[in-house]
Structure 1
Amino acid sequence: MVPARVVLSEELDRQLGFSAGHLQRISGVCSRHVCETEDQIDLAAAAAHLAMEKAEVAAGSIDLVLGACGIPYQTLPATAPLVMRRLGIPDGAAAAFDVNATCLSFLSALELAAGRIAAGQSRTALVFSADIASRALPWKSQPDVAALFGDGAAAAVLTAASEGTGAIRASLMRTYPSAYEACEIGAGGTRFDFEREPAEFAAHAAFRMDGRELFRVTHRHFPRFVDDVLAAAGWTPADIDLVVPHQASPLALEHMIEQTGMPRERVVNIAARFGNQIAASIPTALDIAWRDGRITRGTRLLLLGTSAGVSFGGMAIEV
């Protein structure tokens, strides 16, 4: 689910006074969807309705709602209860809370929902990711970074697998907090007091990213991480039918392909058309691959991503 408005990089070039083609050359992104009349809850609810329709699940059957957004609707309360209310799920019929691992939030929420279902704590879970990534971007200081992002949402319904159907074969996350400051929005939490430190709050209210530091950590550790995900699943690279990665940037996807040796034709790449949708990136790519007929019963999927923090995440799924 994406907002109606599409913003081309050439349009941004004109607005910002760049030469034609500048932003697409430095970012690799040619277009992105941007919220104009929609808000984050609109996107989340629309994506949830589509997922419920495809799964043939009514709102009254859902007993777990997990918000898996990189940026919440507001600091407090969590986003999930508001989406639960928008969907018409009655009070007390479900648990609703958020799981935040920035760009890896969807994978983290999937793992949590699957674990609760396996333990008999939940029967039917709804996981949604909705992010308005077009806000708080550093257009003046880092236009190459700001041009990477777009808005979007996606959702999934999880139930217990029947015998002979697909399942999660492995799920793994590793964190490298030495690069914690490489990707951040410092304001909005408790770090800066809005009343006592207004200048510091304002100075840290926009997104910033140190691409070189992120590249260093990824280049050093990511290939081994992918090997470990595959080992946990009992797979070899040849067993993978489709790789669905976080769409960090077109350049990051090229680097991932080179590092891991994954065949290019098996990697879902929508970054140039949609930009980086933060947590909604992986489920959006997954949905597009499904609609394009690239996923069928028995397909072996490898979901991969990186997130601020810095963390790597991977999940092996047999459909």
Structure 2
Amino acid sequence: MQASVSSFHTKAIISAVGAYVPKRILSNADLEQMVETSDEWIMQRTGIRERRIAAEDEFCSDLCFAAVRNMMEQSGKEVDDVDYILVATTTPDTFFPSMAARVQAEFGIRQCGAADLNAACAGFITGLQMAGGLIASGAFRKILVIGAETLSKITDYTDRTTCILFGDGAGAVLVEAGDAQSESSFLGTLSLTDGAEGHQLYRSSLSASIGEVPIETTGNIVQNGRAVYRWAVSRVPEGIEQLLKQNGLAAADIDWFIPHNPNMRIIDSVCEKTGIPVSKTVTTLLHTGNTSAASIPIALDSALRDGRIRKGDRLLLYGFGGGLTQNGLLLRWE
């Protein structure tokens, strides 16, 4: 395992948040008609009752646009002066042009950099880490970070082990350089990778192997659920404890834990092992399913909308999944 730990010392702040999920609902009752499963079986194993599914003519870029518009409506912020766009996704409409370039064009942003990044379920936190670092360097002052997925378009709906999990959605945030009176939102960050386990969760249409391990090339998500579960419930608590220790904090110091939302069994286990109460954990799994790179910004938006998160709260955002990769970020909400 290779580890990277760092702290932010400049005044980068998250100034706006928004999210979007498609209108179509795929319920457990619907899945009962498609594969051998039941609402009770799915709820016991995942905590998911329904997930949102993009329309046939609705793609990742469309979800990005909708999330940015929602962010602008909620905050009153504009994006015409954004100087960099980062989009975390594993399901782009096109590999090039990037989804970030599509966002730039959609909103007529005159002069900015644009790039997509792929860290699967840890992708949104990767984007926030990069945005914080770019602002800390002084190179940029206003960065738009988006996590967006249309996982339904790469899900095998004859495979009951994966089709019960995944949904579609997007979330967007603005990261800006604060003024002299601002408190930095970014307190500390950590990244860990177990690349040798990459064959446990993947999507490929080209290569027939990951290292020495043969893989499928259907273009759909393939997951060894048991192996991923074992990795998550052992490695993720270790990573969280490392991040807290590096920043002189304990679980009791966290006001809100906002993890990637894979399934409730994993979240419950992580909370138990780290001592973070489930009551302080933000999830949207019940109604959105696992939306990979979009799950954390969707959950963050939900907690801001209902007033749970307040100024000065200390947040722990933590993404983990394909790679196998995990990324954490400590924030003070300003």
TM norm structure 2? 0.86
Aligned to 2:144: 126
Aligned to 1:159: 176
Q: Write the letter of the residue equivalent to 1:28.
A: G
Segments of 5+ residues of structure 1 without an aligned counterpart are 193-199
Aligned to 2:132: 114
1:302 aligns with 2:316: yes
The worse-fitting range, judged by mean Cα deviation, of 167-176 and 64-73 is 64-73
- What is the deviation of 1:66? 0.8
Q: Write the letter of the residue equivalent to 2:307.
A: G
Closer, same or farther: CA 259–201 of 1 in aligned 2, 3 Å: closer
Q: Do 2:128 and 2:145's aligned partners in 1 also have CA atoms closer than 8 Å?
A: yes
Give 1:191's match in structure 2, choosing from 195, 198, 207.
Answer: 207
Asked which structure has the greater RCO (Cα within 8 Å, sep 6+), the reply is 2
1:7 aligns with 2:26: yes
Closer, same or farther: CA 70–136 of 1 in aligned 2, 3 Å: closer
Q: Do 2:119 and 2:126's aligned partners in 1 also have CA atoms closer than 8 Å?
A: yes
Q: Write the letter of the residue equivalent to 1:63.
A: D
What is the correspondence of 1:183-222 to structure 2 with a 5 Å cutoff?
Answer: 183-187=201-205, 190-191=206-207, 203-222=217-236
Q: Do 1:26 and 1:144's aligned partners in 2 also have CA atoms closer than 8 Å?
A: no
Q: Write the letter of the residue equivalent to 1:286.
A: L
Closer, same or farther: CA 54–122 of 1 in aligned 2, 3 Å: farther
- What is the deviation of 1:112? 0.9
- What is the deviation of 1:78? 1.8
What is the correspondence of 1:259-274 to structure 2 with a 5 Å cutoff?
Answer: 259-274=273-288
Aligned to 2:237: 223
Segments of 5+ residues of structure 2 without an aligned counterpart are 1-19, 209-213
What is the correspondence of 1:65-80 to structure 2 with a 5 Å cutoff?
Answer: 65-80=85-100
Closer, same or farther: CA 20–64 of 1 in aligned 2, 3 Å: closer
Q: Do 2:52 and 2:167's aligned partners in 1 also have CA atoms closer than 8 Å?
A: yes
Closer, same or farther: CA 307–202 of 1 in aligned 2, 3 Å: closer
TM norm structure 1? 0.90
1:182 aligns with 2:196: no
Give 2:187's match in structure 1, choosing from 166, 169, 181.
Answer: 169
Q: Write the letter of the residue equivalent to 2:122.
A: L
Q: Do 2:254 and 2:315's aligned partners in 1 also have CA atoms closer than 8 Å?
A: yes
The worse-fitting range, judged by mean Cα deviation, of 306-315 and 21-30 is 21-30
Aligned to 2:296: 282
CA RMSD of aligned residues (A): 2.0
- What is the deviation of 1:17? 5.5
- Between Structure 1 and Structure 2, how many residues are aligned? 307
Q: Do 2:204 and 2:216's aligned partners in 1 also have CA atoms closer than 8 Å?
A: no
- What is the CA–CA distance in structure 1 between the aligned matches of 2:234 and 2:87, rounded to whole Å? 31
Structure number having the greater strand percentage = 2
Aligned to 1:94: 112
